[in-house]
Amino acid sequence: MNNNIEKHSISLYVNNKPGVLIRTSLVFARRGYNIDSLVVSNDSNNPKFSRMNIEATGDTDTLHLMLAQLNRLVDVIHARDLSGEDILQKELSLVKLECPIEKRTELLQIAEAFSAKTIDLTENTITFQIAGSSEKLNRAETLLHGYKIKEIVRTGKVLMTRGEEATA
């Protein structure tokens, strides 16, 4: 048994039809992969198609078999592993904190250090929007744990290849 477990960034270009997501996710489940992040969006140039960005953890040796199986699915136009390639990859986090007046300036300075936007401010709470790499979001969350976090919501990772080449 191979224990070469890694995170993989997988991009799929699929028909925008009901059931495609479940058939795709079943391929991951059958191969012992855990989907850590999943983002699906319509292709802005052609609404008949969607792009799926999946970050999954699993056995590296199984990845090629899984990609071949994904590419054989009727509604998958193209599935590709982008791990290790030079890609653009971002994530978004909304962080709501308890914010008494005496801590407000301090929290706003932390937000500025992470280029966060204040998207909501009440008498008792402040909500930041932080965008960037997963590492940046993790660092911000670690620092903000010193304050009273009321809620955190994170998107999955969106990714795109650099330059002229289409992502999937």
For residues 96 and 136, membership in a common domain is answered with: yes
Query: Both 98 and 75 in a single domain?
Result: no
Tally of domains within the chain: 2
**Residue 2 pLDDT > 70:** no
Please give the Cα distance from 93 to 155 (Å, whole number): 6
Domain membership flag for residue 130: yes
Is there a domain that residue 166 lies in? Answer: no
pTM (2 d.p.) = 0.81
| Shared-domain flag, residues 78 and 111 | no
Query: Residue 87: is its pLDDT beyond 60?
Result: yes
CATH of the domain at 140: 3.30.70.1150
In the chain, the percentage of residues whose pLDDT exceeds 90 is: 77
Domain limit, last residue, from 59, 85, 111: 85
| Same structural domain, 68 and 33 | yes
Residue found under tokens 């090629």: 64
- Output DSSP code: residue 147: S
pLDDT score, position 167:
80
Residues 56 and 81 in one domain: yes
pLDDT at res. 168: 67
72 in Cβ contact with 85 (< 8 Å): no
In a domain, 116, yes or no: yes
Q: Are 31 and 66 in contact (CB under 8 A)?
A: yes
Residue 168 maps to a domain: no
> Of the residues 58, 85, 112, which one is the last residue of a structural domain?
85
Q: What is the pLDDT of residue 44?
A: 83
Instruction: Provide mean pLDDT across the span 50-71.
Output: 92
Q: Residue 81: inside a domain, yes or no?
A: yes
Residue at a domain's end among 85, 117, 142: 85
Question: Once rounded to an integer, what is the mean pLDDT over residues 58-70?
Answer: 90
Residues 73 and 113 in one domain: no
The answer to whether 98 and 124 have CB atoms below 8 angstroms apart is yes
Compute the average pLDDT of residues 147-164. 92
**51 contacts: CB under 8 Å, gap ≥ 6:** 11, 12, 13, 14, 40, 41, 43, 167, 168
- CA neighbor of 38 nearest in space, from 24, 58, 48: 24
**pLDDT value at position 122?**
95
Average pLDDT, the chain: 93
Range of the domain at 28: 5-85
Q: Each residue of 129-143: pLDDT tens digit? A: 999 999 999 999 999
- The mean pLDDT of 49-74, rounded to a whole number, is 92
Q: What pLDDT, on a 0 to 100 scale, did the predictor assign at position 104?
A: 95
- Would the pLDDT of 32 be above 90? no
